[in-house]
Structure 1
Amino acid sequence: MRRADRLFHIVQLVRGRRLSTAAFLAERLEVSERTVYRDVAELQHQGVPIEGEAGVGYRMGAGFELPPLMFSQAEASALVASVRLAQACLDPALAREAESALSKILSVLPRDARAAAESLVLFAPAVGQSPEVQQRLQALREAAQTRHKVRVQYRALDGTDSTRTLRPLGCFYWGSVWTLAAWCETREALRSFRVDRIGAMEVLAQRFRDEPGRTLADLFRQVEQERRQRAP
């Protein structure tokens, strides 16, 4: 890869993430971390507002823009495939936004590239998620984003019903079902709940803040610790 191309890719990678380490950039570009350090220093010297330092990570400063990029035919086809697959499992609001975003992208492509992308013979019929579950998923996702607590009626695998007050942290798709990761105030523990087992639900006016031991990062650490304990 020419150095000019590599510098351009560094800008694209850094501007697309909150924080990019030199190790991440080196792996994506297939170069050494030392090369990344030199390239970032060169970009900074040229006036590109990359903030951060070696050993910590880099991010793009506010106000930096590049001209619109043109997608290749293969990239456009990949975007069409991604949206079609996503729409089959996303909640209604996100599915509509995905379709809108794709339409904007396709509208600026050359005619031949657009026709090839739209004729992609890959489809994902929407099966398995009832409208009620999709609406519930949307409400839970929005509550997690706005940091609002929710009160739900939940039916466990053994048929036991319970009322829970939750701090929704994130929604996870497992190929056939969605689950909600949350801090359960009723059980005072991190828990996962199948969205299709949630009945009546109310988004509460009360909001929550991250607290030690009750965050999504804590859940990831808990899952990783359990995985290591099960490993032979």
Structure 2
Amino acid sequence: MSRAERLLALMQKLRLYHYPISGAVLAGELGISLRTLYRDIASLQSQGAQIEGEAGLGFVLKPGFTLPPLMFSVEEIEALALGAKWVAQRTDARLGAAASHALSKIAAVLPTELRLELDTAALLIGPSQQPNDSDEILGLIREAIRQECKLELHYLDAQGKESTRVIWPCALAFFDHARVVIAWCETRQAFRHFRVDRIKSLLSQELRYPKHRQALLKAWRLAEGIMEQRP
């Protein structure tokens, strides 16, 4: 375990406790000596971590502190790099650019050894046949989801029948061959899935729908029999 990873592990341990925890317990959980633990705590304190306490009494981390250079492990860096590459290649231009910019901001605050891991990450995204969806429509859908606004769309179903729908969009799913809007449909009075490539035109009504997005997603999961994902 590198020193950066050890300091990160110590921060994570301290976040688990909301009361003073003894140095001996911390050292035992981390598999290090008391002398190393005290040196690491002093190092974190010198970098701004608000760790209170002292040897013999225990230590506690005051809430609300995040130390940017130690936010990620090597595997977390790999996951971030892979995720950003996926977004850049599988979504619309604006979201892809946002992923690249976010990764650049993360790289700017990483210590040298972790920045090298980010720059040289060897996990790649394979080629895929991407749907030819309008970036403008995708942008409008994402904005409506964020703002919890109704959308009016002219839609062409699988049989080629065109209809006008007013929907409450609550999620946008990205598949290899299609992007799908998950929404409550006022016409059907039920949840429906709309392929973005079948949307002929789209208009934001700039009216908030009567439920929160999280409540809609929960109801959709229940209707589909999908277990709710936990972070």
- TM-score, scaled to structure 1: 0.64
Aligned length: 176
Q: Secondary structure at the match of 2:66?
A: coil
Q: Partner of 1:128 in structure 2? A: 130
User: Which protein has the larger Cα radius of gyration, Structure 1 or Structure 2?
Assistant: 2
Matched residues in 2 for 1:67 and 1:5: separation?
Answer: 9
1:91–1:177 Cα change, 3 Å: same
- 1:73–1:114 Cα contact (<8 Å) kept: no
- 2:152–2:204 Cα contact (<8 Å) kept: yes
- 1:87–1:126 Cα contact (<8 Å) kept: no
Counterparts of residues 1-232 of structure 1 (less than 5 Å): 7-8=13-14, 10=16, 46=60, 48=62, 64-70=64-70, 71-124=72-125, 127-130=129-132, 132=134, 134-210=135-211, 215-224=216-225
Matched residues in 2 for 1:104 and 1:131: separation?
Answer: 28
Matched residues in 2 for 1:210 and 1:111: separation?
Answer: 46
Matched residues in 2 for 1:83 and 1:186: separation?
Answer: 37
Matched residues in 2 for 1:162 and 1:210: separation?
Answer: 24
- 1:151–1:164 Cα contact (<8 Å) kept: yes
Q: Partner of 1:58 in structure 2? A: none
- 2:154–2:201 Cα contact (<8 Å) kept: yes
Q: CA deviation at 1:74?
A: 4.0
Matched residues in 1 for 2:185 and 2:102: separation?
Answer: 35
- 2:133–2:196 Cα contact (<8 Å) kept: no
Q: Secondary structure at the match of 1:66?
A: coil
Q: Deviations over 1:205-229 (max 9, x none)?
A: 2221218xx822111101008x9xx
- TM-score, scaled to structure 2: 0.64
Give unmatched runs, 5+ long, in structure 2: 1-8, 18-58
Matched residues in 1 for 2:216 and 2:77: separation?
Answer: 36
Q: CA deviation at 1:182?
A: 0.9
Q: Secondary structure at the match of 2:90?
A: coil
1:222–1:74 Cα change, 3 Å: closer
- 1:89–1:129 Cα contact (<8 Å) kept: no
Q: Deviations over 1:119-157 (max 9, x none)?
A: 33444357513251x332221111011011111111111
Q: CA deviation at 1:175?
A: 3.4
- 1:152–1:165 Cα contact (<8 Å) kept: yes
Matched residues in 2 for 1:112 and 1:47: separation?
Answer: 26
Matched residues in 2 for 1:164 and 1:170: separation?
Answer: 17
Matched residues in 2 for 1:169 and 1:89: separation?
Answer: 20
- 2:69–2:111 Cα contact (<8 Å) kept: no
